[in-house]
Amino acid sequence: MHCPFCRHPDSRVVDSREAEDGAAIRRRRSCPECGRRFTTVETASLSVLKRSGATEPFSRAKVVAGVRKACSGRPVGEDALAVLAQQVEETIRATGAAEVAAHEVGLAILPPLRDLDEVAYMRFASVYRAFDSLADFEAEILALRADQVLDEAAEAAFADASAVARFGGAHDPAPPPVHASFAAP
C-alpha cells in the first residue's frame, strides 16, 4: 500500500492489532521514504447491492445518517446511533454474506431501532416499509402494544418476586406492627 503522504509505493507494518472485537485488523505503517506513519484498517469486504443494481461498501455512517433523520427531535444521542450501526453491521456480517441487498440493511435496522425509540422506529418503518394507510400504522402500533404487554407482564412477574425482599414501596400500606414478647429470664 502506498504512502498517503508522499505516494511512495511501499510501506512497512510496525504494529498490528485486532479491533472491533476481531472484526477488523488495525495496522500501524511507516513509510521508508518520508518516515511518516499512518494506520490502515482491514475488514472483510461487505457490499450493499442497491435497487439500481449498483453496489457500494457497507457504511455505518450511512446507517447512522438514515436513522438520525427518523430520530429528529427524539432523545437519541450520537453514541446510541453509533451502537445501533454497529449492531446492524454485526447482524449482517453474522449472515456470512459478502454482499447484501439494501433492503436487508433496512430490515436489520428495525429491531435495534425499536428497542431504542418507538417513535423513531415508527417513522423509519413507515418510510422503509412504505406504509400507505392509517391501517398500516394501526397494525404496527398494535404489534408494538402487544410486545409491551408481554414486557410488562415479565416485569410484573419480576417485581412480584423482588417485592418480598423490598418489603414495601411508596404505595404499599405500612407493614403491620410487630408484637414481640420476650420472656424475662
Question: Coil, helix or strand for 49?
Answer: strand
Q: Which stretch binds Zn ion (CB under 5 A): 23-31, 84-92, 132-140, 159-167?
A: 23-31
- Nearest Cα neighbor of 51 from 98, 100, 96, 110 is 100
Q: Which stretch binds Zn ion (CB under 5 A): 13-21, 27-35, 104-112, 146-154?
A: 27-35
Q: Which residues pair with 27 in a beta bridge?
A: 16, 40
Cα-based torsion angle of the residue sequence 126, 132, 134, 137 in order, rounded to the nearest 10 degrees: -20
Q: Select the residue interacting with Zn ion from 1, 5, 18, 42 (CB under 5 A).
A: 5
What are the φ and ψ backbone dihedral angles of 133, each rounded to 5 degrees?
A: -150, 165
Comparison of 34 and 127: residue with beta carbon closer to Zn ion:
34
24 forms part of the interface with Zn ion (CB under 5 A): no
Q: Select the residue interacting with Zn ion from 1, 2, 6, 42 (CB under 5 A).
A: 6
Q: Select the residue interacting with Zn ion from 1, 34, 65, 153 (CB under 5 A).
A: 34
Tell me how far, at minimum, the Cβ of 35 lies from Zn ion, in Å.
7
Tell me how far, at minimum, the Cβ of 136 lies from Zn ion, in Å.
56
118 forms part of the interface with Zn ion (CB under 5 A): no
Beta-carbon contacts of 107 under 8 Å, excluding residues fewer than 6 positions away, are none
Let me know how many helices (H) and strands (E) the chain has, helices first. 5, 6
Binding region for Zn ion (CB under 5 A): 3, 5-6, 8, 31, 33-34
